[in-house]
Amino acid sequence: MDALMVADSYLYLECKLFKIIDGFDLMKAYNLTPNIVTGIATNTLAGCELVENLCNVRALNLIDQKTTPEFKRLLGKSLGIRLN
């Protein structure tokens, strides 16, 4: 867990982002569920759909600029802030 010091108080941030080739095994082995999956598995629409159907996790190809608004929304939700 990362921590940022803000005005003498601590704001704890937790956002799990998997960028690995086989995150499914990692999810099972460590009982972790990411907020977002990105990386080579998300380079195609079929890959994104497979990740989302198998893992019930949002998959985003961050190289595609059309995914930026959704990425900002999900990241902002995890951080509890609104990102423009």
38: in domain: yes
Q: How far apart are the first and last CA of the chain?
A: 24
Number of folded domains in the chain?
A: 1
Reported as a single tens digit per residue, the pLDDT across 21-62 is: 566 676 777 787 888 888 888 999 999 999 899 888 899 999
**Per-residue tokens: 42:** 């998300």
11: in domain: no
CA dist 4 to 11, 18, 41, 50, 84, Å?
A: 6, 21, 31, 35, 20
Phi, psi (rounded to 5 degrees) for 65: -65, -20
3: in domain: no
Instruction: Please state the pTM of the whole predicted model.
Output: 0.64
7: in domain: no
2: in domain: no
61: in domain: yes
10: in domain: no
